[in-house]
Amino acid sequence: MIVLIVLAVVFVVDRDLADRLTREDAAVEWLQAALFAAAALFAVVSARCRWRADASPVAEVLVAAMMAGLIIGEVDLDRLLFGRKVIGTRFLVDTRVAPGWRSLALTVMVVPPVVLAFYALRRWRGLLAAVIQALAEPAGRVFIAGVVIFGLTELFEKPLGRIPGLPRFMVEETLELLAGNCFAVALYADWRLKQAEQNVYALLRRTTGATIETPDPGGG
Protein backbone atom coordinates (compact mmCIF):
# COMPACT_ATOMS: atom_id res chain seq x y z
CA MET A 1 0.00 0.00 0.00
CA ILE A 2 2.90 2.36 0.70
CA VAL A 3 4.06 1.93 -2.90
CA LEU A 4 0.60 2.89 -4.17
CA ILE A 5 0.62 6.03 -2.03
CA VAL A 6 4.11 6.91 -3.30
CA LEU A 7 2.95 6.40 -6.87
CA ALA A 8 -0.02 8.73 -6.31
CA VAL A 9 2.30 11.38 -4.84
CA VAL A 10 4.66 11.02 -7.82
CA PHE A 11 1.73 11.58 -10.18
CA VAL A 12 0.76 14.78 -8.36
CA VAL A 13 4.34 16.09 -8.27
CA ASP A 14 5.69 14.89 -11.63
CA ARG A 15 3.23 13.43 -14.11
CA ASP A 16 5.95 12.61 -16.66
CA LEU A 17 7.83 10.54 -14.09
CA ALA A 18 4.61 8.71 -13.19
CA ASP A 19 4.13 8.00 -16.89
CA ARG A 20 7.64 6.56 -17.24
CA LEU A 21 7.29 4.42 -14.13
CA THR A 22 4.03 2.85 -15.29
CA ARG A 23 4.88 2.10 -18.90
CA GLU A 24 5.20 -1.46 -20.19
CA ASP A 25 8.38 -3.16 -18.88
CA ALA A 26 9.05 -0.25 -16.51
CA ALA A 27 9.61 -0.15 -12.75
CA VAL A 28 6.01 -0.73 -11.63
CA GLU A 29 5.62 -3.77 -13.87
CA TRP A 30 8.82 -5.31 -12.49
CA LEU A 31 7.57 -4.61 -8.97
CA GLN A 32 4.40 -6.52 -9.85
CA ALA A 33 6.53 -9.44 -11.02
CA ALA A 34 8.44 -9.34 -7.71
CA LEU A 35 5.17 -9.52 -5.76
CA PHE A 36 3.95 -12.41 -7.92
CA ALA A 37 7.27 -14.20 -7.33
CA ALA A 38 6.97 -13.70 -3.56
CA ALA A 39 3.40 -15.00 -3.68
CA ALA A 40 4.53 -18.05 -5.69
CA LEU A 41 7.26 -18.77 -3.14
CA PHE A 42 4.80 -18.63 -0.24
CA ALA A 43 2.40 -20.91 -2.16
CA VAL A 44 5.16 -23.46 -2.80
CA VAL A 45 6.23 -23.45 0.86
CA SER A 46 2.59 -23.80 1.96
CA ALA A 47 2.16 -26.72 -0.45
CA ARG A 48 5.20 -28.38 1.10
CA CYS A 49 3.74 -27.87 4.58
CA ARG A 50 0.47 -29.49 3.56
CA TRP A 51 2.23 -32.37 1.80
CA ARG A 52 4.36 -33.06 4.88
CA ALA A 53 1.17 -33.04 6.96
CA ASP A 54 -0.41 -35.63 4.60
CA ALA A 55 -2.97 -33.07 3.39
CA SER A 56 -3.84 -32.19 -0.19
CA PRO A 57 -1.79 -29.23 -1.56
CA VAL A 58 -3.92 -28.91 -4.70
CA ALA A 59 -4.95 -25.29 -4.10
CA GLU A 60 -1.40 -24.20 -3.30
CA VAL A 61 -0.02 -25.96 -6.40
CA LEU A 62 -2.57 -24.25 -8.66
CA VAL A 63 -1.89 -20.87 -7.07
CA ALA A 64 1.87 -21.28 -7.53
CA ALA A 65 1.27 -22.17 -11.20
CA MET A 66 -1.01 -19.15 -11.57
CA MET A 67 1.66 -16.85 -10.14
CA ALA A 68 4.27 -18.34 -12.49
CA GLY A 69 1.99 -17.63 -15.43
CA LEU A 70 1.49 -14.04 -14.30
CA ILE A 71 5.24 -13.53 -13.99
CA ILE A 72 5.83 -14.86 -17.51
CA GLY A 73 3.11 -12.59 -18.86
CA GLU A 74 4.18 -9.45 -17.02
CA VAL A 75 7.89 -9.53 -17.85
CA ASP A 76 7.56 -11.23 -21.27
CA LEU A 77 9.98 -13.91 -20.14
CA ASP A 78 10.03 -15.60 -23.53
CA ARG A 79 10.98 -12.33 -25.20
CA LEU A 80 13.77 -11.79 -22.69
CA LEU A 81 15.14 -15.30 -23.22
CA PHE A 82 14.70 -15.67 -26.98
CA GLY A 83 14.54 -12.11 -28.27
CA ARG A 84 10.94 -12.44 -29.49
CA LYS A 85 7.50 -13.47 -28.32
CA VAL A 86 7.38 -17.28 -28.39
CA ILE A 87 4.31 -18.04 -26.28
CA GLY A 88 1.66 -16.78 -28.66
CA THR A 89 -0.29 -17.44 -31.84
CA ARG A 90 1.95 -15.30 -34.06
CA PHE A 91 4.95 -17.50 -33.36
CA LEU A 92 2.97 -20.68 -34.04
CA VAL A 93 1.85 -19.48 -37.49
CA ASP A 94 5.16 -17.87 -38.48
CA THR A 95 6.35 -19.93 -41.46
CA ARG A 96 9.87 -18.54 -41.10
CA VAL A 97 10.26 -20.59 -37.91
CA ALA A 98 11.13 -24.27 -38.26
CA PRO A 99 8.15 -26.61 -37.59
CA GLY A 100 10.08 -28.34 -34.81
CA TRP A 101 10.46 -25.12 -32.83
CA ARG A 102 6.81 -24.24 -33.35
CA SER A 103 5.77 -27.71 -32.18
CA LEU A 104 7.94 -27.32 -29.10
CA ALA A 105 6.36 -23.94 -28.34
CA LEU A 106 2.88 -25.42 -28.76
CA THR A 107 3.80 -28.25 -26.39
CA VAL A 108 5.01 -25.78 -23.76
CA MET A 109 1.80 -23.76 -24.14
CA VAL A 110 -0.61 -26.71 -23.98
CA VAL A 111 0.88 -29.48 -21.82
CA PRO A 112 1.32 -27.67 -18.46
CA PRO A 113 -2.27 -26.32 -18.36
CA VAL A 114 -3.65 -29.73 -19.36
CA VAL A 115 -1.59 -31.51 -16.69
CA LEU A 116 -2.72 -28.99 -14.05
CA ALA A 117 -6.35 -29.37 -15.15
CA PHE A 118 -6.21 -33.16 -14.77
CA TYR A 119 -4.44 -32.78 -11.43
CA ALA A 120 -7.17 -30.43 -10.19
CA LEU A 121 -10.02 -32.60 -11.51
CA ARG A 122 -8.65 -35.67 -9.75
CA ARG A 123 -8.60 -33.68 -6.49
CA TRP A 124 -11.71 -31.57 -7.01
CA ARG A 125 -13.05 -32.25 -3.53
CA GLY A 126 -9.87 -30.93 -1.94
CA LEU A 127 -9.94 -27.92 -4.24
CA LEU A 128 -13.57 -27.17 -3.46
CA ALA A 129 -12.89 -27.48 0.26
CA ALA A 130 -9.92 -25.09 -0.08
CA VAL A 131 -12.08 -22.52 -1.89
CA ILE A 132 -14.81 -22.72 0.77
CA GLN A 133 -12.19 -22.39 3.50
CA ALA A 134 -10.64 -19.40 1.71
CA LEU A 135 -14.01 -17.62 1.65
CA ALA A 136 -14.22 -18.06 5.43
CA GLU A 137 -10.73 -16.74 6.23
CA PRO A 138 -9.40 -13.16 5.99
CA ALA A 139 -6.31 -14.22 4.02
CA GLY A 140 -8.45 -16.16 1.56
CA ARG A 141 -10.78 -13.23 1.02
CA VAL A 142 -7.82 -10.92 0.40
CA PHE A 143 -6.49 -13.37 -2.20
CA ILE A 144 -9.89 -13.62 -3.90
CA ALA A 145 -10.09 -9.80 -3.92
CA GLY A 146 -6.74 -9.76 -5.72
CA VAL A 147 -8.05 -12.22 -8.31
CA VAL A 148 -11.14 -10.07 -8.90
CA ILE A 149 -9.06 -6.87 -9.20
CA PHE A 150 -6.63 -8.47 -11.64
CA GLY A 151 -9.38 -10.09 -13.69
CA LEU A 152 -11.40 -6.88 -14.02
CA THR A 153 -8.26 -4.94 -14.90
CA GLU A 154 -7.47 -7.35 -17.73
CA LEU A 155 -11.09 -7.27 -18.89
CA PHE A 156 -11.21 -3.46 -19.06
CA GLU A 157 -7.59 -2.91 -20.05
CA LYS A 158 -8.30 -0.71 -23.09
CA PRO A 159 -10.87 1.61 -21.44
CA LEU A 160 -8.54 2.06 -18.45
CA GLY A 161 -5.87 3.33 -20.83
CA ARG A 162 -8.10 6.06 -22.20
CA ILE A 163 -9.04 7.90 -18.99
CA PRO A 164 -8.56 11.66 -19.62
CA GLY A 165 -5.81 13.34 -17.63
CA LEU A 166 -4.01 10.16 -16.64
CA PRO A 167 -0.96 8.46 -18.20
CA ARG A 168 -2.01 5.65 -20.54
CA PHE A 169 -0.89 2.69 -18.42
CA MET A 170 -1.10 4.23 -14.94
CA VAL A 171 -4.51 2.93 -13.84
CA GLU A 172 -3.94 -0.54 -15.30
CA GLU A 173 -0.49 -0.96 -13.77
CA THR A 174 -1.57 0.49 -10.42
CA LEU A 175 -4.50 -1.91 -10.16
CA GLU A 176 -2.29 -4.85 -11.12
CA LEU A 177 0.19 -3.73 -8.47
CA LEU A 178 -2.65 -3.68 -5.93
CA ALA A 179 -3.63 -7.20 -7.00
CA GLY A 180 -0.03 -8.37 -6.62
CA ASN A 181 0.06 -6.87 -3.15
CA CYS A 182 -3.13 -8.78 -2.26
CA PHE A 183 -1.62 -12.04 -3.52
CA ALA A 184 1.65 -11.64 -1.62
CA VAL A 185 0.04 -10.53 1.65
CA ALA A 186 -2.64 -13.23 1.56
CA LEU A 187 -0.24 -16.08 0.78
CA TYR A 188 2.25 -14.89 3.37
CA ALA A 189 -0.51 -14.91 6.00
CA ASP A 190 -1.64 -18.36 4.84
CA TRP A 191 1.92 -19.68 5.07
CA ARG A 192 2.33 -18.32 8.60
CA LEU A 193 -0.97 -19.94 9.60
CA LYS A 194 0.11 -23.32 8.23
CA GLN A 195 3.46 -23.01 9.99
CA ALA A 196 1.67 -22.32 13.27
CA GLU A 197 -0.63 -25.31 12.73
CA GLN A 198 2.37 -27.55 12.07
CA ASN A 199 4.05 -26.35 15.25
CA VAL A 200 0.90 -27.06 17.28
CA TYR A 201 0.53 -30.60 15.87
CA ALA A 202 4.23 -31.29 16.46
CA LEU A 203 3.91 -30.11 20.06
CA LEU A 204 0.85 -32.28 20.61
CA ARG A 205 2.65 -35.32 19.20
CA ARG A 206 5.59 -34.79 21.55
CA THR A 207 3.46 -34.22 24.63
CA THR A 208 0.90 -37.00 24.06
CA GLY A 209 3.03 -39.49 22.16
CA ALA A 210 0.04 -40.14 19.91
CA THR A 211 -0.39 -39.82 16.17
CA ILE A 212 -2.52 -36.82 15.33
CA GLU A 213 -3.82 -36.41 11.80
CA THR A 214 -3.94 -32.99 10.17
CA PRO A 215 -7.54 -32.12 9.20
CA ASP A 216 -8.06 -32.22 5.44
CA PRO A 217 -11.76 -31.81 4.62
CA GLY A 218 -11.20 -32.29 0.90
CA GLY A 219 -9.06 -35.41 0.97
CA GLY A 220 -5.80 -36.07 -0.90
pLDDT for 198 beyond 80: no
Percent of the chain's residues with pLDDT above 70 = 94
pTM, rounded to two decimals:
0.83
pLDDT for 6-60, tens place per residue?
Answer: 878 888 888 898 888 888 888 899 999 999 999 999 999 999 888 877 788 999 9
Instruction: Give the N- to C-terminal CA distance of the chain in Å, as an integer.
Output: 37
Model confidence at 76, in pLDDT bands (50, 70, 90)?
Answer: confident
Residues with Cβ within 8 Å of 166's Cβ and at least 6 positions away in sequence, in order, are 11
pLDDT for 83-120, tens place per residue?
Answer: 778 888 888 888 888 888 889 989 988 999 999 999 99
pLDDT for 167 beyond 60: yes
Q: Give the 3-state DSSP-derived string for 57-70, with helices as H, strands as E and coil as C.
A: CHHHHHHHHHHHHH
pLDDT for 128-163, tens place per residue?
Answer: 999 998 899 999 999 999 999 999 999 999 999 889
* Residue 1: per-residue pLDDT: 64
Query: Angle CA(171)–CA(173)–CA(176) in degrees, nearest 5?
Result: 105
Residues with Cβ within 8 Å of 24's Cβ and at least 6 positions away in sequence, in order, are 169
Please give the Cα distance from 47 to 58 (Å, whole number): 8
* Residue 199: per-residue pLDDT: 75
* Residue 156: per-residue pLDDT: 93
Model confidence at 209, in pLDDT bands (50, 70, 90)?
Answer: low
